[in-house]
């Protein structure tokens, strides 16, 4: 092989899951993070093209259907009743208002509508309204997603029967780091809910946040947890911490942009058939960084000018970015 060609050949062989179990060890994930940046992004883009059209990105719109006053103490969250973030609480919205918002999201081009509630988990008294909103959004012809916290036995089936397609429940960080961020529920609680969601036959959306003050080893641990879920999550949101005044994490140092792109690339390589969503934090991200995330295999975004309680690039800005990158919505 001529010298020049050799120089461009990337050695991929060792960086694979365990040949028999298919599981990703922490060391195998760490090796991916340690690849030279260009080799990692190239590999991620190569894997991406095996399963997806590299010029298509899926659009999900979020709506907070019940805001603030949450009993949980997640250190990053504007909606925890334990932090003084100045957020105005709001009761559960009625189904008609939610369906109207979904209709607008659909007109703007979103294919999935994700309803979020600041709950430890849904209460029985709230389920009737929630099921009505899910059914109404589904009837618009959109994919439906909900993120309502921990589920009790039978609730996933109830949500499924009302028309729910996806349930979002993030592992957020490594098992070792979880108690530094949240103490009011455990990592095992999160895994148990994911098990119930899967058992009910719902599609699983699960990812995490970076920029919490975690180490790279924690990021590796999060990826290994997600990649070793059986089956792997259908969607994997990767959030860059949006710093919220009044939360314990308001003053931490953001991770370097290269580390964020690495996180996306490693998620793509280890979960080749999953949608990897470039999630919270896009408003603070330069366009070139977002473009690199797409190059590294991100193929989904939150679309619309609001996430749950914080801002997101508005629709016209995202349309301009997509036009520059020749990306089409899926
Ligand atoms: N209460 C439910 C729960 O905790 O699963 C659903 C809503 S919760 C806001 C959904 C996810 O949003 C969290 O798991 C976290 O990954 C993400 N998130 C929340 N606040 C964030 C922030 N300030 N920056 C980035 N991501 C955030
Ligand atoms: C996910 O992983 N990120 C979304 C969604 N799933 C529910 C939420 C992001 C929240 C960002 C902070 C806020 O707007 O409150
Ligand atoms: Fe509550 Fe979810 Fe926020 Fe945690 S992340 S405080 S559970 S809304």
The DSSP-derived string for 207-226 is: -EEE-SS--HHHHHHHHHHH
Does the annotation flag 205 for ligand binding? Answer: yes
Give yes or no: 74 in active site: yes
CA 328–ligand 2 middle distance (angstroms): 23
Whether this model's pTM surpasses 0.85: yes
Label residue 180 exposed, middle or buried (CB < 10 Å: 0-12, 13-18, 19+): middle
Rounded Cα–Cα distance for residues 247 and 75 (Å): 6
Give yes or no: 293 in active site: no
Q: Which ligand approaches the C-alpha of residue 206 most closely?
A: 2
Which one-letter DSSP state was computed for residue 172? B
Phi-psi region of 19 (alpha: psi -120 to 50; beta: other; left: phi over 0): alpha
Mutate to test the pocket of ligand 2, among 62, 112, 274 (most ligand atoms within 8 A of CB): 62
Rounded Cα–Cα distance for residues 189 and 196 (Å): 11
Q: Whose CA is nearest to atom 8 of ligand 3?
A: 118
Rounded Cα–Cα distance for residues 209 and 261 (Å): 13
Rounded Cα–Cα distance for residues 175 and 137 (Å): 34
Rounded Cα–Cα distance for residues 101 and 196 (Å): 29
Mutate to test the pocket of ligand 1, among 308, 310, 311, 312 (most ligand atoms within 8 A of CB): 308
Q: Determine the pLDDT at residue 129.
A: 98
pLDDT tens for residues 208-265?
999 999 999 999 999 999 999 999 999 999 999 999 999 999 999 999 999 999 999 9
* Count of alpha carbons within 13 angstroms of residue 117, beta-carbon side: 24
Give the residue ranges of the chain where pLDDT is below 70. Answer: 1-20
User: Domain ranges in the chain?
Assistant: 26-325
CA 75–ligand 1 middle distance (angstroms): 10
Residue range 26-325 forms a domain whose CATH class is alpha beta
Say whether the peptide bond before residue 164 is cis (omega within 30 degrees of 0).
no
Residue of 43, 190, 277, 282 marked active site: 277
Residues in Cβ contact with 31 at an 8 Å cutoff, skipping those fewer than 6 apart:
14, 15
Q: Determine the pLDDT at residue 23.
A: 87
């Amino acid at each position: 092989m001529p010298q020049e060609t050799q120089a461009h050949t990337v050695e991929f062989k060792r960086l694979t899951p365990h040949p028999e179990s298919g599981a990703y060890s922490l060391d195998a994930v760490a090796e991916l993070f340690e690849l030279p940046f260009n080799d990692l992004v190239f590999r991620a883009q190569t894997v991406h093209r095996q399963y997806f059209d590299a010029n298509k990105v899926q659009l999900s719109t979020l709506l907070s259907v019940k805001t603030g006053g949450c009993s949980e103490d997640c250190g990053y969250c504007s909606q925890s009743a334990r932090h003084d973030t100045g957020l105005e609480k709001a009761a559960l919205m009625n189904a008609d208002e939610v369906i109207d918002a979904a209709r607008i999201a659909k007109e703007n081009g979103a294919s999935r509508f994700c309803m979020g509630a600041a709950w430890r988990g849904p209460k029985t008294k709230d389920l009737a309204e929630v099921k009505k909103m899910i059914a109404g959004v589904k009837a618009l012809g959109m994919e439906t997603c909900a993120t309502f916290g921990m589920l009790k036995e039978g609730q996933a089936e109830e949500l499924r029967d009302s028309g729910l397609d996806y349930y979002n429940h993030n592992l957020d960080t490594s098992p070792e780091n979880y108690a530094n961020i949240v103490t009011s529920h455990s990592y095992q609680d999160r895994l148990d809910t994911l098990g119930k969601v899967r058992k009910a036959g719902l599609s699983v959306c699960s990812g995490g946040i970076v920029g919490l003050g975690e180490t790279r080893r924690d990021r590796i641990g999060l990826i290994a947890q997600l990649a070793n879920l059986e089956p792997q999550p259908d969607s994997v949101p990767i959030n860059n911490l949006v710093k919220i005044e009044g939360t314990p994490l308001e003053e931490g140092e953001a991770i370097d942009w290269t580390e964020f792109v690495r996180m996306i690339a490693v998620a793509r390589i280890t979960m080749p058939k999953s949608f990897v969503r470039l999630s919270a934090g896009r408003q603070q991200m330069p366009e070139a960084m977002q473009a690199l995330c797409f190059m590294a295999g991100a193929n989904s975004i939150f679309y619309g000018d609001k996430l749950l309680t914080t801002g997101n690039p508005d629709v016209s800005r995202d349309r301009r970015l997509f036009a520059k990158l020749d990306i089409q919505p899926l």
